[in-house]
Chains A and B, each alone.
Chain A
Amino acid sequence: MSGKKVLKYACDLDKSVTVTNFERRGWTCVGNDEDWNFYWATVQSVRNLFSVDNSYRMTDDQVVNHFPNHYELTRKDLMVKNIKRFRRDLEKEGNPLAEKDETGRYIHLDFIPVTFMLPADYNLFVEEFRKNPSSTWIMKPCGKARGIGIFLINKLSQLKKWSRDSKTNTFTAPSAKDTYVISRYIDNPLLIGGKKFDLRLYVLVTSYRPLKCYMFRLGFCRFCTVKYNASTTELDNMFVHLTNVSIQKHGDDYNQVHGGKWTVHNLKVFLEGTRGKEVTDKLFDDMHWCIVNSLKAVSGVIANDRHCFEVYGYDIIIDDNLKPWLIEVNASPSLTSTTSSDRIMKYKMINDTINVVIPPGELPDVRWNKVPAKESLGNYDLLYDEDLAQTDILAQDVKGRLTTTIPGSRAGKDRQRLAQATWK
Chain B
Amino acid sequence: MEDQRTPADVARLISKTVDQLKQSHLHTQLQKAAEVEVGRAAIRVSDVKTEVVKGLINSGWERKLRNMVYQHMQKESPTKHHLAPAEHNKEPLTYLRKAQVNWEKRILKSLNSMCTELGVPLARRRPEKEQREVLVKWSELGTDEPDLSAFRPVYAPKDFLDVLVSLKNPNMNTADDANVFAMWGIMQVPLQVKNLQQLRLEYSDLTINQCQTGVEDSAEINMDQFQQDRIKLAKKVLASDHCPLAQEFAKKGIPQGYRAELWQLILGLHFSDEDALYYEHLKAYVLEHDLLVDSLIYKDVKLTATNDDQYFVFEDVLYQVLLPFSRDTSILRCFEQSSATPAKSYIRGRLGDNDFAVMYPPSGVIPFHGFTMYVATLCYLYNDPVSIYFVFRELYTRYFFRLHAISSHPEGIVSLCVLFEKTLQAVEPQLFFHLKQIGCQPLRIAFRWLIRAFAGYLASDQVLSLWDKVLAYDSVEIIAILAAAIFSYRKTNLLQVKNLQAAEAVMVDVTTISVVPLLQMFLFTK
Contact = CB atoms under 8 A, between A and B. Distances in A.
Contacts of A280: 257
A223 B379 CA distance: 16
A223 B313 contact: yes
Nearest to A277: B257
Nearest to A278: B257
Interface in A317-345: 339, 341
A261 B310 CA distance: 9
Q: Is the interface of B mostly helix, strand, loop or mixed?
A: helix
A274 interface: yes
A226 interface: yes
A194 B316 contact: yes
Interface of B: 139-140, 143, 231, 255-260, 306-310, 312-317, 379-383, 459-461, 464
Given A277-B231, A277-B255, A193 B315 contact: yes
Shortest Cβ-Cβ A-B pairs, 10 listed? A277-B257, A258-B309, A193-B313, A272-B256, A227-B140, A274-B383, A273-B381, A257-B307, A269-B461, A276-B257
Contacts of B316: 193-194, 227
Contacts of B140: 194, 227
A409 to B, nearest CB: 13
A62 B140 CA distance: 53
A194 B316 CA distance: 8
B122 to A, nearest CB: 30
Contacts of A257: 307-309
A368 interface: no
B307 A277 contact: no
A33 to B, nearest CB: 42
B399 to A, nearest CB: 20
B259 A273 contact: yes
A357 B309 CA distance: 31
Contacts of A260: 312
Contacts of B379: 193, 270
Contact of A273 (B231, B257, B307): B257
Contacts of A158: none
Contacts of A261: 309
A265 B317 CA distance: 20
B139 A273 contact: no
Given A226-B143, A227-B316, A266-B460, A273 B260 contact: yes
Nearest to A223: B313
Nearest to A221: B313
Contacts of B260: 273-274
Interface residues of A, number: 30
A254 to B, nearest CB: 11
Nearest to B261: A276
Contacts, number: 78
23 contacts: A193-B313, A193-B315, A194-B140, A194-B317, A226-B143, A255-B312, A257-B308, A258-B309, A258-B312, A260-B312, A261-B309, A263-B309, A266-B310, A266-B380, A269-B256, A269-B380, A269-B460, A273-B256, A273-B257, A273-B381, A274-B382, A277-B231, A278-B257
Given A192-B313, A270-B380, A339-B309, A277 B256 contact: yes
A253 B256 contact: no
Nearest to A339: B309
A56 to B, nearest CB: 43
Given A258-B307, A270-B379, 12 more contacts: A193-B313, A255-B306, A255-B312, A257-B308, A258-B309, A262-B309, A262-B312, A266-B460, A269-B256, A272-B256, A276-B257, A341-B309
A166 to B, nearest CB: 34
B416 to A, nearest CB: 27
Contacts of A265: 459
Nearest to B222: A407
A195 interface: yes
A260 B306 CA distance: 10
B253 to A, nearest CB: 14
A263 B257 CA distance: 18
A273 B380 contact: yes
A227 B308 contact: no
A424 B140 CA distance: 47
A410 to B, nearest CB: 14
Contacts of B460: 266, 269-270
A258 B315 contact: no
A195 B257 contact: no
Contacts of B258: 276-277
Contacts of B143: 226-227, 253
A292 B465 CA distance: 34
A227 B140 CA distance: 7
